[in-house]
Amino acid sequence: MKNVFKPASRLNLPVYPFADLERKASAIRNSGKSLYNLSIGDPDNVPPDFVVDAVKKTLDNPQSHFYPSSRGDQEVRKSVARWFKGRFSVSINPETQVCITIGSKEALCQIAKAVVNPGDIVAVPDPSYPVYHRAGCQFVGGRCMTIPLSVENNFLPDISSISDYNVKLLYLNYPNNPTGAEASDAFLSELGKLVDNNPEMTLAYDMAYSEMYFCSPPRSILEFTPNAIEFHSLSKMASATGYRIGFAVGEPERIAALIKVKEEIDSGAPYPFQIALSAMLNAYNGVKPPDELNVDRKIYQNRKLSLAASLEKLGLSVYHSNATFYLWFFIGKDEMPFINKALEKGLLLTPGSGFGKYGKGWVRASVTAPHTDIEAAANIIANMSI
């Protein structure tokens, strides 16, 4: 029988940039060649023992065998509220302002289902995490409005003209992937005013990297306005991307809408991983994280500084930031010849254009690999004629 199957038109997306890179990487590995992979933001450090133990112990709790709730366990939501108060000095109500999520990626997609109607404008920074304009806009029939980010503005967008458009959903992300940029207080204060003056707009503020900082702790948008919704994750905080656990916090009606979508689609995050999240958050003392996280931060910071120094010796222009494990550097007009040449030599990096057209010419190196790999990567780049 002739196969007449056609996927839905919403799947007419260019190949997911990281999936494409992963395929190329496995082809190289399968050919037996060695590969240094600085392309994926998947921490190579391990979760703290007490977080792993929390999962193990909870598996024996009969509650783990039942369906969890879509909004998340009540005690875990209380841990989130306590953490939020200690970390950001913001009081949130665990009953109405918290939703436990299956990592932050799913929630960043589901919020679009909760607020966007077909034809509505979704404002997305460029470069940015591809999920915003793909699942966050295209999947829901939104119209994507690009907000350019440039090095001249420290990768903070000019939001002064957003009120001129009828933006329904605005995605922003600081500390930022792919650039590593951090939001200044002045920017957050301006953003808070924008949100307050545009009550029909939803700001989805992505803080997946809130704990991956080396200098001053990034601030929450909820310190500046109660009207936004913010997304957090255990993934990078505890080197636990496989646990798939995170949370959304903020304005109650938007949280309720997100929960409503989740009730239709999933049955909540697995209980043992909710408890792992709670264990990590409870280990904070105010802003101060458990020692394990400080150790991880130091490792990433040293790797980032060392790679930056090597690249600068070669005359490359590096964007210096005090957050995330990404190093963002400029190659020239088009980064693809550089990316391809590096791949031939066994080094996988992420092309900036995978994050949008304003990322063209830039390259992202994720320092989530051992220091020896970072040194090997620097040597490979040094031996390439750039």
Ligand X SMILES: Cc1ncc(COP(=O)(O)O)c(C=O)c1O
The verdict on 350 binding ligand X (CB under 6 A) reads: no
The verdict on 278 binding ligand X (CB under 6 A) reads: no
Is the Cβ of residue 326 or residue 338 nearer to ligand X in the bound state? Answer: 326
Q: Which stretch binds ligand X (CB under 6 A): 101-109, 155-163, 217-225, 264-272?
A: 101-109
Is the Cβ of residue 338 or residue 355 nearer to ligand X in the bound state? Answer: 355
Pick from 37, 70, 177, 210 the residue near ligand X by CB under 6 A. Answer: 177
The verdict on 205 binding ligand X (CB under 6 A) reads: no
Q: By the 8 A CB rule, do 355 and 73 touch? A: no
Is the Cβ of residue 227 or residue 233 nearer to ligand X in the bound state? Answer: 233
The verdict on 364 binding ligand X (CB under 6 A) reads: no
Q: Give the CA count within 13 Å in the CB-facing half-sphere of 246.
A: 26
The verdict on 41 binding ligand X (CB under 6 A) reads: yes
Q: By the 8 A CB rule, do 250 and 82 touch? A: no
Provide the minimum distance between the beta carbon of 135 and ligand X in the complex, in angstroms, as a whole number. Answer: 11
Ramachandran sector of residue 322 (left: φ over 0; alpha: ψ -120 to 50; beta: rest): alpha
Q: In Å, what is the CA distance from 342 to each residue of 44, 229, 381? A: 21, 39, 7
Say which residue the tokens 């034809």 belong to: 119
Pick from 241, 274, 353, 368 the residue near ligand X by CB under 6 A. Answer: 241
Q: Which stretch binds ligand X (CB under 6 A): 63-71, 103-111, 186-194, 287-295?
A: 103-111
The verdict on 129 binding ligand X (CB under 6 A) reads: yes
Interface with ligand X (CB under 6 A), residue total: 13
Q: Is the peptide bond before 175 cis (omega within 30 degrees of 0)?
A: yes
Q: By the 8 A CB rule, do 247 and 73 touch? A: no
Among 212, 249, 215, smallest CA distance to 232 is for 249
**Single-letter residue type at 264:** E
| DSSP 8-state assignment for residue 101 | E
Provide the minimum distance between the beta carbon of 304 and ligand X in the complex, in angstroms, as a whole number. Answer: 16
Provide the minimum distance between the beta carbon of 109 and ligand X in the complex, in angstroms, as a whole number. Answer: 10
Q: By the 8 A CB rule, do 316 and 338 touch? A: no
| DSSP 8-state assignment for residue 130 | T
Q: Look up residue 79 and give its two tokens.
A: 């841990």
The verdict on 127 binding ligand X (CB under 6 A) reads: no
State the helix-helix crossing angle for 74-88 and 271-282, rounded to 10 degrees: 30
The verdict on 211 binding ligand X (CB under 6 A) reads: no
The verdict on 142 binding ligand X (CB under 6 A) reads: no
CA distance 226 to 252: 9
The verdict on 104 binding ligand X (CB under 6 A) reads: yes
Q: Give kind and range of the element (H or E) at residue 231.
A: strand 229-233
Provide the minimum distance between the beta carbon of 3 and ligand X in the complex, in angstroms, as a whole number. Answer: 33
Pick from 37, 97, 173, 227 the residue near ligand X by CB under 6 A. Answer: 173
Is the Cβ of residue 103 or residue 268 nearer to ligand X in the bound state? Answer: 103
Pick from 58, 97, 235, 350 the residue near ligand X by CB under 6 A. Answer: 235
The verdict on 274 binding ligand X (CB under 6 A) reads: no
Is the Cβ of residue 105 or residue 262 nearer to ligand X in the bound state? Answer: 105
CA distance 244 to 262: 15
Residues that bind ligand X in the complex, under the rule CB under 6 A: 41, 103-105, 129, 173, 177, 206, 208, 233, 235, 241, 246
